[in-house]
């Protein structure tokens, strides 16, 4: 039994060493970045360009939102002023009972029309 367990441990250790060696070889530590990589440099330059453009866009958006908020405050003030003026006009207007003017609801009339079909005066022989 001792030799069987020993063989199992030897196989396991060999397998672990093989996986570790394969990982080291796959990492290619000897191929460290030597000098400049043109693709990486272009990528970094593009990143900085996009960051600058994003800052410009953000400034434009903030400026537009500030203008929108300013116009909104002006419009809300105008609406409040109109509402106050309207309320003052309503309170100053005479009441309906005092003026003697009565407003009736509009009357509704139901009209029945003939069905829309082929007319007999068109010369058609179909009923």
pLDDT tens digits for 72-89? 999 999 999 999 999 998
In a domain, 26, yes or no: no
pLDDT at position 114 over 90 = no
- Domain membership flag for residue 31: no
Model confidence pLDDT, tens digit, residues 25-61? 888 777 766 666 888 889 999 999 999 999 999 999 9
Res 90: pLDDT = 85
**Residue 78 falls inside a structural domain:** yes
The answer as to whether 47 is a domain residue is yes
Range of the domain at 52: 37-92
| Residues with Cβ within 8 Å of residue 104, at least 6 apart in sequence | none
């Amino acid at each position: 039994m001792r030799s069987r367990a020993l063989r199992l441990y030897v196989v396991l250790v060999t397998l672990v060493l093989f996986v570790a060696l394969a990982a080291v070889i796959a990492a290619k530590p000897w191929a460290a970045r030597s000098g400049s990589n043109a693709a990486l440099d272009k990528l970094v330059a593009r990143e900085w360009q996009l960051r600058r453009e994003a800052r410009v866009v953000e400034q434009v958006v903030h400026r537009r939102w500030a203008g929108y908020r300013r116009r909104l405050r002006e419009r809300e003030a105008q609406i409040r002023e109109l509402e106050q003026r309207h309320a003052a006009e309503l309170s100053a207007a005479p009441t309906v009972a005092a003026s003697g003017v009565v407003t009736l609801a509009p009357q509704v009339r139901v009209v029945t029309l003939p069905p829309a079909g082929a007319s007999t005066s068109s010369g058609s022989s179909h009923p």
